[in-house]
Structure formats: C-alpha cells, structure tokens
Homo-oligomer: A and B are copies of this chain.
Amino acid sequence: MANLKQIAAELSLSVTTVSRALKDGPEVHPSTVARVKEVANRVGYVPDHHGRALKTGRTMTLTAVLPMETSDYLSDLAKLPLIEGMTLAARQTGYSLSIYSTTPDDDPVESMRRLLQARSADGLIITRMVSGDPRIKLLLDQGIPFVTFGRTDVDAAYPYVDIDNEQIAYDATRRLMGKGCRRIALQLLVAKDQASAARLKGYQRAMAEAGLPIDQSLIGHGTFTMESSAAWFDRLLASSDPPTGLACANELGLLGALHALGRRGLEPGRDVHIVTRDNTRLSRFLPANIGVHSIDMAAVGHKLIELLEDRIANPLGSVATVLFEGEFDPGEQVGPEEVGVSQILKK
C-alpha cells in the first residue's frame, strides 16, 4: 500500500524529492536522503511496476518465448535448467522473467506481434530458430532488444547465444567412427529448426571426410519423446542392415533407444555404440556404456539474460554473440584424433 505520496506526506516533503532521494539523486541533501530511506524501509516501500513502466517505458520484465510440448510426454528436459538459469539471472539484476509459451499450433510471427504490442517486456528471448526466421526482422524493425537462443541464416546482425551443434555432432560422429562404426544413425529433434540443421551438417561433414555414404533412412526427424524414439530405433534395428552407431538428440531420446535395444537383448557399447547429448547428466547414472556430451544449460540461460540486459542498456552497441561448446565426459577417447573438451566462450 505504501507509495511515494505517503512517504512524502509523512516527512512533509514533495513527492519529487522523495522519488529523487530514493535513487540517490545528487540534488537532494544527504540527510534528507537518509530520512527518506529510513521511512521507505520501514513501510516496506517497493516502487509500483506499472506506474514506473507507464512513465519510463521500462517494465523491468523480460519475456522468454518458449515452445511448450502439448503431448503427454516431455521431450526436452534441458528447458528446466535453462529456465532456472534465466530466472535467477534476471532476479539478480532486478528484472523479473515472464514465460510466454507457444504451442505448435501458434503462428510464431503473429503471436510475436501480439506480444510486442502489449509492450509488457523490456526485452525478449526467443528460441527454436528456423532458417530465415521472420521473427528477427520483425524484432529489429520494432527496435525492441532481444537475444536469440540459436543462430540462423538471416542477413542481419543480432545478439545470440548458441550451442555449437555442428561441431558437437561432428565430434560425436567421429567418436562413433573411432569405435569402428560405419553405419551411424542420427536423431534430430525438429526437422526445420536451426539446431537440427547444424547437427545434420556436422554429421554429414564427418561422414564425408571419412568417405562413408549417408543413408537417409538412418536419419530420424521429429519430436523424440521416449516412446517415439524407442519405436524409431526399433524400426532401424529390425532392418536388414541395422546401424552400429547412434547419436541421440537428448537424454529422453537415449532412454527410448536403450529401451529398444534392451527388448532385443542388445547392449550399448557391445552391439551398438551410442553417443548422446545429455544436459541433465542423467545418462551418467544409467548402467550403460555410452558417450555423453553435456552443456551447462543454466549457464546458457544466465548468458542469455546477461546479453539481453547488455542490449537493453546499450541498444546501439556492438552485437555480442556467445557460443557454448560443452564437453564430452572425460575419460573417453575420440576416434582419429582428440577433440577439445573445455567449455569455450567465444565472443
């Protein structure tokens, strides 16, 4: 209930002076500042979001646009540490984080328009970038600060945080080759998105360098839940020339694949070699011999917010980009040659 007017009345000061005192304005006498702060503290004054937003245009809210799965099954656990990292980072600097979920039915551009119109955020985080993503132009035109999670092939400069999916897929494929695999299956999360495209590119590069043919039937697209992954991999195992290596999209894809293997009495590391992305370190606890690559998604979330706040503070500054490489679990050798294992933040 406490507002500037009440504090001003209590101290027989003007609202203006109180407002200035609370932000240590140099125009107001130090002893007055102290008195004001004492009262503000006592009555538990916190500036009203909306009054301030209306006047300054700043809302102290950041919005993350996240795709939500509508199926019964989860498909991406990494979103949880990502959200945690973002909310904590935002809170540290006085921002609050709002989650705007989009469903597969939504038109991404149209729902973004709505979001922009409501002017309820100082900045946006957008994810699931697609090739030539139209949202980037829209956001640049509107002049609202934003950071994307994932790069895309758009002819414009914008800040992003990305995962070096191409390199990771390349390394993963070479690891499998190092175990002697020649027929390597690849799980891709969503057909159109930029992350999957990058993974595919890394896979293709590794295969081409090794002179191995690419069998399209070994490349799986789709939202891999545990169930669909199990069904997909089971189908591959049932074929006349089954894969001997598999690169999983994430921990849930892995669980599905392991399930399919188990049903056939096959073992990872013996019958089929597996490398997986796993940002929750869940696969470390499975009794299975698997190569694991993980990224600290909370750090990614942190970085996204950090870049966004930089952008808000300095909208015309140079565009920062960060690439996360993550690391393969130590103790494993990559095939032909070593790959770097340290987490690199490249500006």
Contacts and interface: CB of A to CB of B under 8 A. Distances in A.
Interface stretch (A69-77, A125-133, A155-163): A69-77
Interface stretch (A11-19, A114-122, A196-204, A207-215): A114-122
A97 interface: yes
Given A79-B80, A117-B2, A226-B282, A87 B74 contact: no
Nearest to A46: B117
Interface in A45-74: 45-51, 53-54, 59, 61, 63, 66, 68-70, 72-74
A68 B48 contact: no
Nearest to A100: B96
Interface string A251-273: 01001101100100000000000
A289 interface: no
Contacts of A285: 226, 230, 255-256, 258-259
B119 A99 contact: no
A114 B287 contact: no
A126 B67 CA distance: 24
Q: Which of A117, A118, A285, A287 has the largest count of B CB atoms less than 10 A from its CB?
A: A285
A286 interface: yes
Contacts of A47: 118
A63 B96 CA distance: 10
Given A50-B120, A72-B296, 12 more contacts: A50-B53, A50-B54, A63-B96, A68-B88, A72-B298, A73-B281, A77-B80, A87-B101, A258-B285, A258-B287, A259-B285, A259-B286
11 contacts: A48-B54, A49-B118, A49-B119, A50-B54, A51-B54, A70-B88, A72-B298, A77-B280, A88-B103, A96-B98, A259-B285
